[in-house]
Amino acid sequence: MIVAMTTLTGLGLLLGLLLSLAARVFQTPGNALCEEITELLPGVNCGQCGYPGCAAASEALVAGGASPALCPPGGAVLARTLAARLGRTLDAAGGPPLLAEIDESLCIGCAHCGKRCATDAIIGAPKQIHAVFQEACTGCGLCVEVCPTECLQLRPQKPTFESWCWPKPALVGV
Amino acid sequence: MRDYLFILLGAALVNNVVLVRFLGLCPFMGVSNKIDSALGMGMATTFVLTLAVAASWLLEHYLLAPLGIEFLRILAFILVIAALVQFTEMFVRKASPTLHQVLGIYLPLITTNCAVFGMALLNVQQKHDFLSSLLYGCGSALGFTLVMVLFAGIRERLALASVPATFAGAPIAFIAAGLLALAFMGFAGLPAH
């Protein structure tokens, strides 16, 4: 009994110690900028940028292969932040952020959209009218694909101080 | 020498770990969609199984048996095999990032694979010496790789075939696995060690 207990405890302690030592010795230095960019990205891994997840997208951003405006959920705000952090210029200013909205007159309460939402922004039980919790919505558009009645649409939102930008100068006299 | 060859062949074909012993079925079904990933999984399993069998033999004969605590075998084996795989993963990540990209994602999957653990226990049961244990583990892992690649090849062709709607996907894969297992029964005619 005592022998068994001490042996197993000793074995566990020894292996744990060895593993923690190995973790120190074999530590691979990660890219600090990469981690910082990953923190900035929404982290919902929706894959709309064409990379498998936000970590892969941040690697592509740091390597220079991707545009700072690659992230639809992040919108114009994120594009500007990324461009400033990476010291790159942004090609297009981008419009106001698009967020999901539900047309209550068309919603049949099928509850398909809530299951797809990566940020739990859609409220509503089956056979009840759903609503989008705008503060949580990232505008990734995953819910739009599954809506059978097309009552879920991405609609432009009122600009806030963060998201407002100068309108493009219109041509005069045309 | 002949004995060792028999152990290797017997473990790989006659007592094939997947199709005859029915161990390690989760990767057999889960990672056999593409030949590439099946080969990667097979290679990682070969590596881990050989290491795990060696470690568990040493543990059994130098710690558990002398202290008379063989009843702790299962617990101790799990502990050591898991630690070993974790250590290997860290080492490979540092030493060769390319190899880590190929094998690394499969390594944590294998830690708790019942084939790895089963081989370690079978070695104790059959009272193999160190070299035989090693060959037994390595042979069964090679058999595992063979079956994985064979099955992945079959599934790649099945994906293109027009299968009746009722059988499409997993059902036809299970039927194919059954037929493959029947085919492997043919090896039972080889002299089992």
Of residues B64, B52, B55, the one with CA closest to residue B116: B52
How far is it, in rounded angstroms, from Cα B6 to Cα B14? Answer: 10
Both tokens assigned to B155: 């599934």
Mean pLDDT of A68-79: 80
Where do the domains of chain A lie, and which CATH numbers do they carry?
32-86 (1.10.15.40), 98-156 (3.30.70.20)
User: pLDDT category, B104, cuts 50, 70, 90?
Assistant: low
Q: How many CA atoms lie within 13 A of B167 on its CB side?
A: 11
Taking only the tens place, the pLDDT of each residue in A81-101 is 888 888 887 765 555 667 888
Q: Which residues of A119-136 are buried (b: 16+ CB within 10 A; e: fewer)?
A: bebbebeeeebbebeeee
Domain boundaries, chain B: 2-187
- The verdict on B67 touching A (C-beta cutoff 8 Å) is yes
Both tokens assigned to B112: 């708790």
Residues of A in Cβ contact (< 8 Å) with B94: 25-28
Which residue did the predictor score with more confidence, B100 or B160?
B160
Both tokens assigned to B108: 């944590």
Residues of A in Cβ contact (< 8 Å) with B80: 11, 15
Both tokens assigned to A24: 């120190």
Counting every residue written for chain A, the total comes to 174
Rg of chain A taking only CA atoms, in angstroms: 24
Residues of B in Cβ contact (< 8 Å) with A23: 90
Mean pLDDT of A141-162: 84
User: pLDDT category, B89, cuts 50, 70, 90?
Assistant: confident
Contact B15, B144 (CB under 8 A): no
At residue A92, the pLDDT reads: 55
Taking only the tens place, the pLDDT of each residue in A96-124 is 667 888 988 889 989 888 888 888 889 88
Model pTM above 0.80: no
